[in-house]
Structure 1
Amino acid sequence: MTCRPAGTIRTVSGPLPTSAVRGPVLAHEHLALDLRRPGRPAALLDGRHEAAIAAELADLHGQFGLSLVVEQTCRGMGRDVAALARVSATSGVAVVAATGWYYEPFHPPDVRRADVGRLVETLTRDVEDGIGPARIRPGLIGEVGSHGERPSAPERRTLTAAARVAARTGLSVATHTCLGRGGPAQLALLTAQGLAPHRIAIGHQDLLDAPAVHRRLAAEGAYVAFDTVGKTAYQDDATRLRLLLALVDAGHADRVLLSCDISRHTYLTCQGGQGYGHVFRSFLPRVRAAGVGDDLVDLMTRRNPLRLLGSRFT
């Protein structure tokens, strides 16, 4: 069993005290990824885009103080932790790597055949021994996914393994939900394995126009991720703002995470996309204009993700 010191985050460059993170955090992004399938040729971020990604992050560090990116590309998604280390070193922005399995259509064949015990062993090796030749240790289990109101049988196994490893090692879990659906079922499954809800972030809730579900997740102690900001093909930002304000007005600003989930090269600013900075350049000014003060903005963009990442096993 591995315990980390309280207030320490695992980054691709090594341990980082949470006290060293003075600026905002992007809680769910991708810097290296391959989710290409027929009809989705742009779902790719690889070496051809690395310099542009590093330049974007460096610019955001200079303009907005961006201090940390939580990179949630996991097994079966084209994970490349060596690329994350290079981007972090070039941009000057700390990066957290992740492990786990995405939702069922992206499960590798060996996962479909493995039982929970074997999946636990695989994740434990990543967490305790590190990933790749450089043995980079992940700071999060995510984005572990499901794609319906309730996880499929293979997704139940991967989510169960994620929860068990998180409970043993002190890492937290971040999830993927398809269009925001299935968050309550994910939370119930994860907590049934002994994982505390404050160490769980339920993903993509800004794609689900259901304020009552958001309040329920937050009231149970989970983080509610509004992490696809700017993806207007899925949801307009006006709806995201309304949903966010409803959650803040209900007293749950301390459960909110914000990010953009850049997951294809056409989203990069050099290719005319909204980029990693959309949340800072476009969305947060609208949040502030709606009456949300700087302290709550700092809570949602810095302190909340740091609490999620810096929690420890006790």
Structure 2
Amino acid sequence: MSFIRTLDADIPKEQLGFTYSHEHIVCRPAYWAERGEDDLLLDDPEKSKRDVLDFKRHGGQAIVDATAIDYGRDVPAVHRIMKETGVRIVGTAGFNKSFLWNAKIKEELKPLIGNYNTYYEWIEAKSVNELADFVIREVEEGLEGTPFRAGQVKFGTGYNRITPLEEKTLRAVARAHHETKAPIHSHTEAGTMALEQIELLRSENVDLSFLSLGHMDRNPDPYYHEQIAKTGAYLSFDGIGKIKYAPESTRIHLILELVRKGYEDQILISGDTARKTYYKHYDYGLGLEYIIAKWVPRFVDEADRAGFDGRKLIEKFFVTNPANCFAFKR
């Protein structure tokens, strides 16, 4: 049996529909708030909702919200947006990357995770299995004590390195995956350490077809992408619209290279829209509508010119592949 777990219901995977595979909708990361980085605080649910409605207006049906506990989730607000817009939202249990763990834990969370001052203290103090148990509860009972459950589990690593605590959370997430059958998502900093993450997951006997690796377009290396794809994992190209990192021509080339090599069933697309300046209704950015309204037509045109069926590939990247990647398989 396969199903997708949205925040408040399990649905057949065929009902997921057109999906962004990595976004952030409402979040107030303590690490950035403590440093006055207002651009990184998506702190107005009404403005976020307007961008979600733009996505829906162009045919969007589902969003995977990749916000983990250490990135300042507002689970009730995101659930309200889901109910008020009709766009299905998948929540995330697990962890991000280590430098964020220096942030203070908000007081409301301490009854759930213990009276620690920072995420670093909490993760350092707990065993791998204790952390796994926490992640399991977020999948099976609810995120942060709410009734809204996670539909994927997540870990992250830093730029060109994996710290001991990052390895600890990776192993905890792997064990939570075995218990729950939830799909796994990983944060890779600038697209690095994916193969090293994979080796650690293999040591935990994880079936890599449950894994999606984020930020692959930040490391625009076709050979590297092919080595990852050979493992059976999904590659998430989730920097669409971020021209400061690379032009869209680079991303489209990378994606089509994987298609040429036979890996079209392992590609996911999204925007990782996590700043006010990326959102249309916060600060006049491209917004959640950009990919579906503008990038998709360009991709179809370029794919068709290169001899592919662009529309068929879009159906794969935004409908079929997310339905398969984010399914619980029991």
Equivalent AA in structure 1 for residue 9 of structure 2: G
Residues 1:45 and 2:62 are matched in the alignment: no
C-alpha displacement of 1:205: 0.2
Give the distance between the partners of 1:250 and 1:287, measured in 2 at CA.
18
> Does the 8 Å CA contact 2:156/2:170 hold for their aligned counterparts?
yes
Q: Which runs of 5+ in 2 are unaligned?
A: 102-118
Which is worse superposed, 37-46 or 73-82? Answer: 37-46
Q: Which runs of 5+ in 1 are unaligned?
A: 1-5
Give the distance between the partners of 1:148 and 1:260, measured in 2 at CA.
20
SS at match of 2:185: strand
Residues 1:18 and 2:30 are matched in the alignment: no
Q: How does the TM-score come out when normalised to structure 2?
A: 0.88
Give the distance between the partners of 1:75 and 1:68, measured in 2 at CA.
21
Q: 2:256 aligns with which of 225, 245, 249?
A: 245
Give the distance between the partners of 1:165 and 1:18, measured in 2 at CA.
21
- Aligned counterpart, 1:299: 316
> Does the 8 Å CA contact 2:139/2:149 hold for their aligned counterparts?
yes
SS at match of 1:209: coil
Give the distance between the partners of 2:146 and 2:96, measured in 1 at CA.
23
Q: 2:139 aligns with which of 122, 127, 143?
A: 127
> Does the 8 Å CA contact 2:234/2:266 hold for their aligned counterparts?
yes
Which is worse superposed, 203-212 or 268-277? Answer: 268-277
SS at match of 2:201: helix
Give the distance between the partners of 1:248 and 1:190, measured in 2 at CA.
25
Superimposed CA distance per residue, residues 278-305 of structure 1 (whole angstroms, 9 cap, x where no aligned partner): 2122322221112242122101111111
Q: 1:28 aligns with which of 11, 17, 22?
A: 22
Equivalent AA in structure 2 for residue 288 of structure 1: V
> Does the 8 Å CA contact 2:159/2:190 hold for their aligned counterparts?
no
- Aligned counterpart, 1:110: 122
C-alpha displacement of 1:84: 1.2
Superimposed CA distance per residue, residues 66-109 of structure 1 (whole angstroms, 9 cap, x where no aligned partner): 11100010011001111111110111100011110100011212
> Does the 8 Å CA contact 1:70/1:96 hold for their aligned counterparts?
yes
> Does the 8 Å CA contact 1:140/1:171 hold for their aligned counterparts?
yes
> Does the 8 Å CA contact 2:19/2:318 hold for their aligned counterparts?
yes
- Aligned counterpart, 2:226: 215
Give the distance between the partners of 1:40 and 1:253, measured in 2 at CA.
38
Give the distance between the partners of 2:159 and 2:189, measured in 1 at CA.
7
1:149-160 matched pairs, under 5 angstroms: 149-160=160-171
- Aligned counterpart, 1:206: 217
> Does the 8 Å CA contact 1:150/1:186 hold for their aligned counterparts?
no
Q: 2:72 aligns with which of 73, 78, 91?
A: 78
SS at match of 2:268: strand
Indicate the structure with greater helix content: 2
1:110-189 matched pairs, under 5 angstroms: 110-142=122-154, 144-189=155-200
Give the distance between the partners of 2:144 and 2:185, measured in 1 at CA.
22
Give the distance between the partners of 1:132 and 1:224, measured in 2 at CA.
28
Which is worse superposed, 279-288 or 295-304? Answer: 279-288
C-alpha displacement of 1:268: 0.8
> Does the 8 Å CA contact 1:140/1:174 hold for their aligned counterparts?
yes
Give the distance between the partners of 2:237 and 2:143, measured in 1 at CA.
28
> Does the 8 Å CA contact 2:26/2:48 hold for their aligned counterparts?
no
Equivalent AA in structure 2 for residue 286 of structure 1: R
Give the distance between the partners of 2:173 and 2:245, measured in 1 at CA.
27
Q: How does the TM-score come out when normalised to structure 1?
A: 0.92
- Aligned counterpart, 1:260: 271
Equivalent AA in structure 1 for residue 20 of structure 2: L
Superimposed CA distance per residue, residues 148-199 of structure 1 (whole angstroms, 9 cap, x where no aligned partner): 3341100000011111111221101111111111111111112221211110
Equivalent AA in structure 2 for residue 298 of structure 1: E
Which is worse superposed, 34-43 or 232-241? Answer: 34-43
SS at match of 2:11: strand
C-alpha displacement of 1:145: 0.5
Residues 1:277 and 2:294 are matched in the alignment: no
Residues 1:60 and 2:55 are matched in the alignment: yes
Equivalent AA in structure 2 for residue 42 of structure 1: D
C-alpha displacement of 1:40: 2.9
SS at match of 2:317: helix
SS at match of 1:42: helix
